[in-house]
Structure 1
Amino acid sequence: MTATPVRPEQTRSLSGTLGVGAIVLMVVAAASPLTVIGGAAPLGVLLGNGIGFPAMYAVAGVVLLLFTIGLSAMSRAVPRPGAFFTYIGHGLGRSTGVAGAWLALLTYTAVQLCVYGYIGAILAVTFEGLGVAGIPWWVYSLAVVAVVGVLGYVHIDLSAKVLGVLLIGEILIVLALVVAVLATGGAEGLSAEPFAPSHVLSGAPGIGLMMAIAAFIGFESTAIYRSEAKDPDVTVPRATYVAVIGVALFYTVSAWALIMAWGPSQAIDTVAADYANVVIITMGQYLGPVGYVVTNVLLVTSMFACVLSFHNVLTRYQHSMAGGGLLPIELTWVHKRQQSPYRSSLLQTITAAVLVTICAVLGLDPVLQVFTWFSGVATLAIVVMMAVTAVAVVAYFVRAHTRGRLWSTRIAPVLGFLGLVGFAAAVAVYFPVLVGDVDAEGEPVFGVVSALLVGSIPLFALIGYGQALYLKRFRSSRYARVLDTIADAGA
């Protein structure tokens, strides 16, 4: 492939004709439906609030829908790609916007790394069962990094098609389980017991919320594809609403069906016996041997779809940041033939490979440490970033003296902010549980590992603030380019 740039205006602008369906596929694939139901949901039941866990998807969905109302209003008022960090900059100033940009990089990089760990572990076990033993998990992870890198290099339409096929397969197999449970009545009959307040608030609801919120990470990235959307003012808001509502409904019903499959009285014990394979076992029981095998295959493709989707999101975040002068200008280059941000894609591929290698050198367990630790970091970081964005939305419209849209520009964002602050507090309090930092009574306490992981969030925000101050003082021309992406809303 040749990648010789022509003129700057040709090499720095993304274009495309993605519709609502294609964008929804890209961002919902990032949620990795089968991985959520097969991995996060059992952990939510086991470590969180037991059979009351399905309700957490509904709770998270309501709060995020309120947040999305303000986000969609902002996407129409600020017609630029960049999502959170662009909107934060327009509402709260350039320095805060730059901090948000770096926090976004941390969030999506952490998500991608944790899934690379998980898929490496799954592939190692799968191939060992086929007689190929002795190959460590990180070799498989690096192989997946390479394949994702190739797909990320070419035009995004190909990624959308690949993700679409994989996502449809995931959704169909999970819906098949739901239908089978409904048809058979489950193990103990169908009931709304999981939604009873006594169950929803039992155990450790903070862990339940953490696992539920993780399923939504990536929905806001619809705005990242603005430059490649067919009709961005219509397509982006619609895709965002569809993604949030669809994810909330799908996971609430699917998690409920998982509880019904084993019965409320047996679900927790069943999950505890083999949480890593409980969904596969459930599929085998309700869908037979074919369902068992298909689920095994789709679990791997589900995680592949996840890392491919987040690779595309990260690539475009870097592209937007470079356009605003926050990263090297070379990352704005768009391939002449593929029309993809190929330089940014290559950088992201290298970054993923380096991080996987570091985890391997440190001897981290791919599931218990890489997956669990970094999914926690991503969840807490995204909640903090959304809360700040909600404030930015209100600040922007108040300053713009916008009238007649109080619900979408003030009330809904404020309600969303209050909910997100509550989420952040619950996740932060229970974060040490993820890394095993608990006292003799099993209560969470911040040890070295949990403190370092949580501390990475303010650290990346400070890096952003520091860069903004440095550029303003020593690279004024480059600092001025931040305005290409982030509005001049103050220092």
Structure 2
Amino acid sequence: MIMAAAAPLTTVSATVPVAILSGNGPAYPIMYVVAAVVLAFFAVGFTAMTPHVKSAGAFYSYITEGVGRRWGLAAAFLALLTYSAVQVAVHAFMGVVLHDFVLSFGGPSIPWWLFSALSVLVVGVLGYRNIEVSGKVLGVVLVAEVLICLVFAVAVTVRGGGPEGLSTAMFQPHQILSGSPALALMFAVSGFLGFEAAAVYRDEARNPDKTIPRATYGALAVIGGFYALVAWAIISAWGDNGAVERAQTDSATMLLDAGKRFIGTFGYEVMQYLLIGSVFACILSFHNVIARYIFRLANTGAMPAKAGLSHPTHRSPHIASVSQSVSAAALLAICVVFGLDPITQVFTWLVGIATIGVMLLMLGTCVAILMFFRHNKVDNRRWNTVIAPGLGCVGLGVTTAITAKNLPLLMGSATLGWIVVVLLVLTIGAGFLVAALRPRANTPD
């Protein structure tokens, strides 16, 4: 579920070109390694605390245990904003992918938002059902998209890259620090969105105390290494200068066109189909995570009790799932009404908001881990309970601050940058307001 939320083919197709253009150019792949190292320190404390957190709310449950229910509710509302933003972003990207797919086969030019509306409907139906159905869909798509990306990366390497040869920019300090490395790191961290998915499914795991740490470390290593490799292959396919130029002129087809040159027409067509499946799997994964957040919050009194009911047949959080589908459709409708571009505005802006949100969530979780082990002497391993989480706090704190400072550059104006900051503050404030109005809400189990 973590890997499906990361959506390998979606990330390398949608995020990598935007990050090359907005971040540090051809040196971008190294930022996945940097992000993985920072998150590894976080993961040490996260997994150490896992056996002591019995709730399925992931980040916000950890913050509740470590800092208190008010901060926990604030984190829960921030998580809802974060994952709702990224889900709508990927719905928009799905609209563009399906629009281009239909055109490539000589079909009519149908507005992207109609395809996005279709994805909301289909994902809503699957989300209404149980996790078994969703898990099977995600698993099949995941294996196929990872394989096609690896085939592409091997083909680029064997053929020595494109017109400029294999890229070495990611190993050159002056290239790494060029452009806007802060935004590059932000986009790299966005590749790890859904990082908490293992803990969200705690109630559905057979042995969560063992499987959650394994899934967390495994996903961290695979995501970091895989994305760095494939991003490097994309840049090598176009060349250091050519990659930046292509990202600027046509980012949406950057990977597909490179795939056509290096793995042939058949590979290109397979990649097209798998890209649709990858985007779909990503949306479905985030839909399930958000539905379970709503379900958990409803069962702790922070949201209407009906949202905490399970379907009598499917055993799914069906009401929470439907409410999530309705909110996603409403947000997409707002984007359409304002005439926002699905890639340069809807996708880029919402992924930026989501990344800032998840950085704040992980930073808050790091603080909660330190406070929890300080007040509860249940683990004497200083590396796991003090040193690693402390390093994670420093890394995430610096990364969040630098990214927030560069928000105006990402959003295209200082005004929009401040709007994002205000939105984040209001969301956190809403959590505190609910905590004040409902004293029993989010009471630790």
Fold match (TM-score > 0.5): yes
Task: Work out whether residues 72 and 237 of structure 1, in 8 Å CA contact, stay in contact via their aligned partners in 2.
Answer: yes
Shift of 1:450: 2.4
Q: Name the stretch that deviates more: 88-97 or 253-262.
A: 253-262
Q: Distance in 2 between matches of 1:131 and 1:372?
A: 28
Q: Distance in 1 between matches of 2:294 and 2:409?
A: 32
Shift of 1:336: 2.0
Aligned pair partner of 1:414 in 365, 390, 401: 390
Q: Distance in 1 between matches of 2:363 and 2:229?
A: 27
Query: Are 1:435 and 2:411 counterparts?
Result: yes
Aligned pair partner of 2:330 in 345, 350, 354: 354
Q: Name the stretch that deviates more: 417-426 or 103-112.
A: 417-426
- What's the counterpart of residue 402 of structure 2? 426
Q: What pairs with 1:50-449 in structure 2 (closer than 5 Å)?
A: 50-133=25-108, 135-187=110-162, 188-190=164-166, 192-437=168-413, 446-447=414-415, 449=416
Cα 1:403/1:152, change in 2 over 3 Å? closer
The structure with the largest alpha-carbon Rg is 1
Q: Distance in 2 between matches of 1:327 and 1:459?
A: 17
Q: Identity percentage over the alignment?
A: 43
Shift of 1:429: 1.6
Query: Runs of 5+ in structure 1 lacking a partner?
Result: 1-25, 438-445, 473-478
Q: Distance in 2 between matches of 1:166 and 1:226?
A: 23
- What's the counterpart of residue 44 of structure 1? 19
In structure 1, what residue type is equivalent to 2:75?
G
Q: Deviations over 1:198-217 (max 9, x none)?
A: 21111110111111111000
Q: Deviations over 1:416-470 (max 9, x none)?
A: 1111011111211221222221xxxxxxxx12x2221232111100000011011
- What's the counterpart of residue 35 of structure 1? 10
Output the TM-score relative to the length of structure 1. 0.87
Q: Distance in 2 between matches of 1:38 and 1:454?
A: 28
Query: Runs of 5+ in structure 2 lacking a partner?
Result: none
Q: Name the stretch that deviates more: 399-408 or 412-421.
A: 399-408
In structure 1, what residue type is equivalent to 2:147?
L
Q: Distance in 2 between matches of 1:306 and 1:123?
A: 15
Shift of 1:189: 4.3
Q: Distance in 2 between matches of 1:193 and 1:342?
A: 48
Shift of 1:79: 2.1
Q: Distance in 2 between matches of 1:85 and 1:264?
A: 41
In structure 2, what residue type is equivalent to 1:410?
V
Aligned pair partner of 2:436 in 469, 476, 484: 469
Cα 1:432/1:168, change in 2 over 3 Å? same
Q: Secondary structure at the match of 1:218?
A: coil
Shift of 1:375: 0.7
Q: Name the stretch that deviates more: 190-199 or 145-154.
A: 190-199
Output the TM-score relative to the length of structure 2. 0.96
Q: Distance in 2 between matches of 1:196 and 1:402?
A: 44
How many correspondences in the alignment?
Answer: 444
Moved over 6 A (4+): none
Q: Distance in 2 between matches of 1:175 and 1:131?
A: 29
Q: Distance in 1 between matches of 2:431 and 2:23?
A: 34
Query: Are 1:452 and 2:412 counterparts?
Result: no
Task: Work out whether residues 169 and 176 of structure 2, in 8 Å CA contact, stay in contact via their aligned partners in 1.
Answer: no
Task: Work out whether residues 379 and 385 of structure 2, in 8 Å CA contact, stay in contact via their aligned partners in 1.
Answer: no
Q: Secondary structure at the match of 2:24?
A: helix
Shift of 1:275: 2.2
Q: Distance in 2 between matches of 1:366 and 1:186?
A: 31
RMSD between aligned residues? 1.6
Shift of 1:129: 4.1
Q: Distance in 1 between matches of 2:409 and 2:166?
A: 32
Task: Work out whether residues 121 and 137 of structure 1, in 8 Å CA contact, stay in contact via their aligned partners in 2.
Answer: yes
Aligned pair partner of 2:442 in 482, 485, 488: 482
